[in-house]
Chain A
Amino acid sequence: MTTGDQPLPLRTPSPLDEADRAALARIAGGELAALEYLYDRYKTMAYSIAYRITNDATLAEDVVQDAFLGAWRNAARYIEGRGSVKTWLLSIVHHRAIDAIRRRRPTTELPELDAGLPDALTMPDVWAEVSANLDSITVREALVALSDVQREALELAYFGGLTQQEIAERTGTPLGTVKSRMRLGLLAMRRSLEVGSS
């Protein structure tokens, strides 16, 4: 496993993070039991995210399987400092789920699966968490505090898999406004989460 160029001091690693990293190192060494450990820990969140995005039980299963196999095959590429193993894994799930639903939409431009894709398209961008102490209530409150249009933009983008252009078309909103809603919505959430976790 490699170390990132710019570790972001946003989050203090927990003992569970250490256990996850140890598991990932064992996965990189080809230890199936470590994959089993990681699956048992994150199966529910992984499947929940996949199902939330795909709204299709069969497709969600495929997504989760792809994601865990992606983690299995790419464990050595996990970069410390760019998010926890949990975030890394769930980002893969999200990435694969969005790929899956975009592939189902004939109008969306997307490269063919896997063959010859650069790393960035087969593995997700991963972000360090704003806080390790977040719970669903805090995050929900942060989401509820957003304006309806900001929340809609974030949800359509992250869980709907829509591009900013598609969001603009679907909501009848100028593209520049959609960009602003996403950026300002995320900034507002960050402020709320920082307060909520302090």
Chain B
Amino acid sequence: MSGPDAMRALTCDEVRELAGAFVLGALDPIEAAAVRTHLAGGHADVHPEIAELGSVIPALHEVVPVVEPPEGLKARIMAAAGADLAARGAVPAAGTAPLAFPGAEARAERANRRSRTSTGGWLLRIAAVLAIAVLGGWNLLLQNDLGAARRYEQNVAAVLATASEPGALTAVLTADGGTGSGLAAVNRSGDVAIAMRDLAPTSGNAVYEAWVIGGDGVPVPLGGFTVDNSRTAFFESSGLPSAEGIVLALTLESGPGATTPTMPIISKGVAAAPG
């Protein structure tokens, strides 16, 4: 079916002839539309072959060689869905910056851009979404904690500013049994920025102490910070070794100035080059 005949109505015999290609998706869009039009026009009952042949299609999925998706893909999807949810108005959006990820509507433009996008820029965008998603931005939105969500986004943005520097390392800090996760970036100069969420609020003199553990296995204190009811925090320090594999960790201390960590570790992550 092509040329002047492309738009004409199909006969039942023609649809039967096209049934295999139709269920396999091997018709061009005009042909496929013609088949659908025919079926929708009261002819579906006389074409059991469509369902008969189509029933084989799901089986073809079972023979595809298994390839595991990359770790960050889930975070990207959840971040995009979270942004979509916010855009629907499910969460009051007053003053809330949109999550930095393109929707499906921007897909074609994004695909066209891909070839001329710098690797660093692409990685940074992925890192941004990864950070927002992994660190639970959508959870904050779901909890309607807009203040915390906004603060958290700002903190993540600050970490990403460090992460975007050439040669910077990033670490995803995950809770070690309790709650408290986040993102850290260390630049070549040894400056570190850490954004955290879901930390229990501190009280009295208690502080969270950040530590770096290098190849010698000795924890070196970086400084402490307190956490308010937003349960989010941003921390900066300097003088770190900028080497892949260093461990960043948080402990809860009874007061500032700890020289050895008090167990347990609240959250920790390993610094690595992005990508």
Q: Report A's interface with B, CB cutoff 8 A.
A: 5-6, 8, 10, 30, 32, 35-36, 39-40, 43-49, 51-52, 57-58, 60-62, 64-66, 68-70, 72-73, 83-84, 86-87, 90-91, 94-95, 98, 100, 103, 108-114, 118, 120-121, 124-125, 127-131, 134-136, 139-140, 142-143, 154, 157-159, 161-165, 167, 178-179, 182-187, 189-190, 193
Contacts and interface: CB of A to CB of B under 8 A. Distances in A.
A130 B77 CA distance: 31
B25 A94 contact: yes
Contact of A32 (B24, B62, B142): B142
A142 B111 CA distance: 37
Interface string B150-183: 0000000000000000000000000000000000
Nearest to B22: A125
A165 B28 contact: yes
B28 A163 contact: yes
Looking at chain B, what size class is its interface with the partner chain?
Answer: 35 or more
**Would you call the interface of chain A mostly helix, strand, loop, or mixed?**
helix
Contacts of A129: 55, 58-59
A100 to B, nearest CB: 8
A5 B17 CA distance: 24
Contact of A114 (B29, B58, B84, B105): B105
B8 interface: no
A177 B64 CA distance: 26
Contacts of A58: 114
Interface string B36-65: 100000001000010111111111111111
A120 B194 CA distance: 47
A185 to B, nearest CB: 7
A44 B69 contact: yes
B22 to A, nearest CB: 8
B80 interface: yes
B5 interface: no
A61 B69 contact: yes
B20 A47 contact: no
B63 A139 contact: yes
Interface string B103-114: 111011011001
B7 interface: no
A114 B73 contact: no
Nearest to B74: A39
A110 B29 contact: yes
B111 to A, nearest CB: 7
The 6 closest A-B pairs by CB, nearest first: A127-B54, A183-B20, A182-B20, A47-B69, A157-B26, A130-B55
B20 A179 contact: yes
A72 B44 contact: no
B213 interface: no
Contact of B81 (A46, A72, A94, A103): A72
A69 B24 contact: no
B60 A114 contact: no
B21 A193 contact: no
Interface string B74-113: 1011101110110010100000000000011101101100
Given A154-B24, A189-B56, A190-B52, A114 B108 contact: yes
A60 B67 CA distance: 11
A64 to B, nearest CB: 6
B19 interface: yes
A69 B104 CA distance: 8
Contacts of B24: 154, 157-158, 182, 186
A127 B114 CA distance: 34
A32 B25 contact: no
A108 B108 CA distance: 16
A100 B64 CA distance: 18
A182 to B, nearest CB: 3
B185 to A, nearest CB: 23
Interface in B201-243: none
Contacts of A142: 59
Which of B17, B24, B73: most chain A Cβ within 10 A? B24
